[in-house]
Amino acid sequence: MAELAVSQILTQLTHLPPLGVYAFVMLWLAGESVGLPLPDEAVLLTLGFLAHRGSVSLVPLVLCATAGSAIGAAVSYQIGYALGRPVVIRISGRVGISPEKLDQAATWVRLRGGIGVFLTRVVPFARNLASYAAGIAAIPPRVFYPAMLLGALVWCTTVTSLGDALGAHYRTILHLGARGLLIGVGLVVIGVAAWLVWSRWRRR
């Protein structure tokens, strides 16, 4: 039922005017980032196709997607940072996230700091709880926000550009399973980012 609803939403996207598409992607990704079980991969691929078709422009699309993702992540982070674990547990329990899973994510992010925050934005799983976890882990705002914004920009740019490059073939990717492919894309992005960080560290 959920997959059918998402498919219907994706179909309706192709009929929206550009401003409607930009507003939709901002709201959708904000909702996904605050914990709602919304698949952003399929939406970003579809929007990339719309850019390929010329219905929308790629740059404003990426900026709106990044803004929505960042807004949702910032809200989640502030809830975790200011209100703490008990409040987050009540929120996360409503979307099926267990306290154990939340604690594991908080520990993982705490150990990795800004790099961990960045990685949670470019790998398509656990993104809807990662910012809550960063808040609970007391990652400082000066560390969280730059890493989160960079990760959101990289992810939104990568997936929408992939949809743009695939053109009409994006439906084939959705049929085969967008998440598996995009996990691979996310891992490639992580690998490149890690290599750049390592190269910079070696030069220093």
Q: What is the pLDDT of residues 142-166, one digit of tens each?
A: 999 999 999 899 889 988 888 887 7
How far lies 185's CA from each of 44, 107, 128, in Å?
13, 25, 19
User: Is residue 35 within 8 Å of 135, Cβ to Cβ?
Assistant: no
Q: Considering its fold, how many domains does the chain have in total? A: 1
Q: What is the pLDDT of residues 69-108, one digit of tens each?
A: 999 999 999 999 998 888 888 877 776 677 888 888 888 8
Q: Which domain holds residue 161?
A: 2-203
Q: How many CB atoms lie within 10 A of CB 22?
A: 21
Q: What angle do CA 1, 120, 102 make, to 5 degrees?
A: 70
Q: What angle do CA 128, 132, 136 make, to 5 degrees?
A: 155
Contacts of 60 (CB under 8 A, 6+ apart): 18, 22
Q: What is the pLDDT of residues 158-190, one digit of tens each?
A: 888 888 877 766 566 555 545 555 555 555 555
